[in-house]
Structure 1
């Protein structure tokens, strides 16, 4: 609401797919606080305009400190009221009487079975909708779309499509920004930056969406879980602007409404911004609340192209990727925008399991796209450039990379125990290509990471997560995708939890990897770590026992031993969690026992056969 943009041209919509009256109450409190907060932002040029983020880091100014402290006090009081109501887990009667919208929850059976709840909390067309200084406020709308057990709600894509339809009736703004609930606006000029691209006289009319960099405000110095995708976002995605534009990444994205609603791009397409700048409905807020409910009903999309050609595409875990591809195949382009000050900041996972679950969902969805009729190589044929079609494929095939990675992690150590050499001898000239590729690739990767502002330890963590993801999350993503293709599994959208206890947060801040849970993915990580540890022990045994032939052993198995040693080094946090840690973030005992047993069985089977 506090963007540096004319408030009468702004409309903010909140989609509450939980259908919670507590969320509605919090939004009412925020609407009231905005009357004080918006003038405050203009006066002090506040950045970021999220009060929680701002007061967490800002210090009171030397001039007009009283006003600054009074606004901070108002915000803290609002937080206390909301938190007290949440602890109570119900809306008190005296609060329910403050707004007619609370009566809607008298008819709600559950969060999975309720009617459409639509409330215009601030009507920007109303002359009484002003802040404490008499300036107009943006339109503010709460929506909880209808949900019924017998109707599929299509997760985030269904929620977005309901918002698109409702907003087209109330405000019908030509540009739509979508932001996930765990992100906040960090740059008040983000709207103006995106409009500079949309309104460019030469290429602006071709742009369907402007994707901002996805950044996080809770990353540790060395990015323990490699959540920033530093090289991908700061190097690779920028390069896509030259061949049609980046994919749609789900959040922090400005869309052209017409493109998002299925319109194909035509060469002579031209936007008259004067005509589309003010198209709000003339009806009263109460009339719009009643008439727009049908647009968010369960049955509205039946026998329509919503979810197929209009709005976000249904049936995929990565609805954003497939939607962006569909838009680009209709002739539109996209742009990637990364201003000096990040446009949006979010919350990255703070435990290893949260990170792995998130990656599994992404990779499952990407592979699902590649194996569907929307495969970029086929669906994009003669629609988008070959370079752009190929650019989608590395991400679509990330899950399949687990097979090669598992081979690299498993086979060298087992063959070392068996006495089978996989690489040329150290004295052989054929060793040079292997050594050259390994060294140059790692050196190039390190140089990229440092150039993008990372640290050496951050790069080491990035390599570790590369291994963890590909041997666990990507493997399960590949396995589940195959089961879905065979009809043994159904689409299941897993929301990544971003809330953890204080102890876990403290360990995260100290850059200590959080295990502390039982998971099949941890079983795999621990077993692979133990396998490589046994492989090193086997190599040392050969060198120690065969004293006369130790040079021959090193000559024959030197590179293989070095690879196992590197893998053991990468897995040091796993060994620490298995055997040495005593905090709640250690590896569960059941995982420790299973990993040792599985690794010993694999080693025994290798020696026997």
Structure 2
């Protein structure tokens, strides 16, 4: 942090002078081409890129302009006090910053994200300072975007549908949810203040405000505010600050702010405001969605459910909008049904759909093809590729049958008292070999996990049922039995095709990222056992 503060004295004037974007030094120099044709720029470009200057300690840049205050906070942690993970860290920062600047606006950015657009602050302030509606805006949410996505987005991490379709829908229904990063908050909304139509912020009182306490006094005060025992017997995490006791404290906090009468704004500029790092392995992605689905359903099944907490406080359409995410976990049950039951019935010779000559089959065909065509068109329209759409379909299936299912299971076990809540941090740092496979869009397995066992078991189950059902149909071609099983064969065949990377990981790949032998043995036994039970 000290090195960053010294570097900023050169870096900020350089950015302003040459209109540098993005203003993250590492991100800029990783992509920028050295300007050999412009002598002045080339000279300063080289100086800034190798520069080490630790002699000047004044808080002014080389042009004599004041630098913003930069403070590094390490909050106290002790085993006998729950630190409440990210929400606890942010609440400590809210308290400490109130003593240093008490700025009316707070920006929250995850540690793996950087500013990609220097105008983001100005853009957010335009909403807060709008003469007609500024007094009702509680927070301004920018989309979550990533810099390391592959061409076809192998793990469907782009969140294109969420950021370009669902969140604008939220915005039209009363305001987007808070997603935990890239968000500008009005400080008072995080302090539990309720909206009042007569409220109006006096922005002029902040223009010449200075900190009157000495650095020693500030340091001593901050230590108290960041201590692990400060929140004991207080309303922090309940009525003040970010909410505790939730794996998705951001969604719950944003909902509470809206229920206190504040409006939120979704802003998605052409140049992304902030960029982060997407997960680079399949397991990372599944673990991340497991936590999200568990936390979201925990909100839905509690007194914080939008239909309870938001009753007569937020519009019904906004309450329904939250259900897009809050009901991720239970949708795993319907998906598992469609993945397992039609395939086993095909193997057993039980028809579940009308035969192909029956006019009633048109309703099923219409829904199936219309939905696929719509999702494909949506993906292409949002800038994706056909292969990217296919990866979306695969990850949709994988998340629902593993992440969402385990998220639901985690909630049930917690309610029964068998487990406690745990905050699982998603690892974003990858080895060179992992990064190379990710860039080549080769699916990463490599480690033993119950979620991989489920994926492999379902993939093998569908393969066994598909070929077993085909054998039955081919044997009875003369009796036209095949007409009863066309849709089941189509569904089962689609599942087999979508699981090709799993089959490769199980049987054909020999690298370190293939399926572990233990997973292969377990999944084969489970799949065969299910088939035997269905048949006999």
1:507-566 deviations in whole A, cap 9, x for unaligned?
1000111111110000000000001100111122113333533xx232011110010000
Query: Partners in 1 of 2:530 and 2:233 — Cα distance?
Result: 54
2: distance between equivalents of 1:361 and 1:345? 22
Superposed counterparts of 1:495-514, under 5 Å:
495-514=425-444
Residue 379 of structure 1 corresponds to: 309
- Write the mapping of 1:8-87 to structure 2, written as runs, cut at 5 A: 27-61=1-35, 62-63=37-38, 64=40, 65-74=42-51
Cα offset, 1:129, TM superposition:
1.1
Query: Hey, what does 1:131 align to over in structure 2?
Result: 61
RMSD: 1.5
Asked if 2 retains the 8 angstrom alpha-carbon contact of 1:209 and 1:255, the reply is yes
Correspondence 1:572 to 2:497: no
Q: 1: distance between equivalents of 2:122 and 2:143?
A: 16
For residues 459 and 299 of structure 2, the distance between their equivalents in structure 1, rounded to whole angstroms, comes to: 32
Other structure's SS at 1:559 match: helix
Quote the Cα distance in structure 2 between the aligned partners of 1:267 and 1:39.
41
SS in 2 for 1:606: helix
Task: Note the C-alpha offset of 1:278.
Answer: 4.1
Match of 2:125 in 1: 195
Matching of residue 457 in structure 1 with residue 431 in structure 2: no
1:288 matches 2:265: no
2:104 corresponds to which residue?
A: 174
Select the residue among 432, 456, 460 that pairs with 1:526.
Answer: 456
SS in 2 for 1:40: helix
Alpha-carbon contact 2:346-2:465 (below 8 Å) kept: yes
Which of 445, 453, 456 aligns to 1:515? It is 445
The residue aligned with 1:353 is 283
Partner deviation per Cα, 1:328-367 (whole Å, 9 max, x = no partner): 0000010001001000000000000000000000000000
* SS of residue paired to 1:497: coil
- Local SS of the residue matching 2:83: coil
Shift of 1:284: 1.7
CA contact (8 A) 2:150 2:439 kept: yes
Residue 301 of structure 1 and its aligned partner are, at CA, apart by 1.3
Check whether the contact 1:357–1:496 (CA below 8 A) recurs between aligned residues.
yes
Alignment partner, residue 603 of structure 1:
531
Residue 367 of structure 1 pairs with residue 297 of structure 2: yes
Inter-partner Cα distance in structure 1 for 2:89 and 2:25: 26
Which range is displaced more, 536-545 or 208-217? 536-545
Q: Distance in 2 between matches of 1:201 and 1:57?
A: 40
What's the CA shift string for 1:106-159, capped at 9, x where partnerless?
A: xxxxxxxxxxxxxxx98xxxxx31122322111000101111110000110000
SS of residue in 1 equivalent to 2:328: coil
Q: Secondary structure at the match of 1:266?
A: coil
Does the 8 Å contact 2:380/2:386 carry over to 1? yes
Asked whether the 8 Å contact 1:174–1:277 carries over to 2, the reply is no
Distance 1:295 1:280, change over 3 A: farther
**SS at 1:29's partner residue?**
helix
Aligned to 1:253: 183
After TM superposition, the structure 1 = structure 2 runs for residues 308-319 of structure 1, keeping only pairs within 5 Å, are 308-319=238-249
Which of 483, 491, 502 in structure 1 is aligned with 2:421? Answer: 491
Partners of 2:306 and 2:44 in 1: CA distance: 55
After TM superposition, what 4+ stretches of structure 1 lie above 6 angstroms from structure 2? Answer: none
Determine helix, strand or coil for the equivalent of 1:139: coil
In the alignment, which residue of structure 2 is the partner of 1:329? 259
Q: How many residues align?
A: 533
Unaligned runs of 5+ in 1: 1-26, 79-97, 100-120, 123-127
Residue-by-residue CA offset, 1:295-340 (whole Å, 9 max, x unaligned): 1111211222111111000100000000000000000010001001
CA distance in 2, matches of 1:146, 1:280: 27
Report the CA distance between 1:293 and its aligned residue.
1.2
Q: Secondary structure of the equivalent of 2:418?
A: coil
Distance 1:276 1:133 in 2: 24
Are the counterparts in 2 of residues 400 and 478 from structure 1 also a CA contact under 8 Å? yes
Once the two structures are superposed, what CA deviation does each residue of 1:363-397 show, in whole Å capped at 9, x if it has no partner?
00000001111011111001111111111112101
* Distance in 2 between residues matched to 1:277 and 1:300, nearest whole Å: 31
Structure 2: which 5+ runs fail to align?
none
Q: CA deviation at 1:66?
A: 2.1
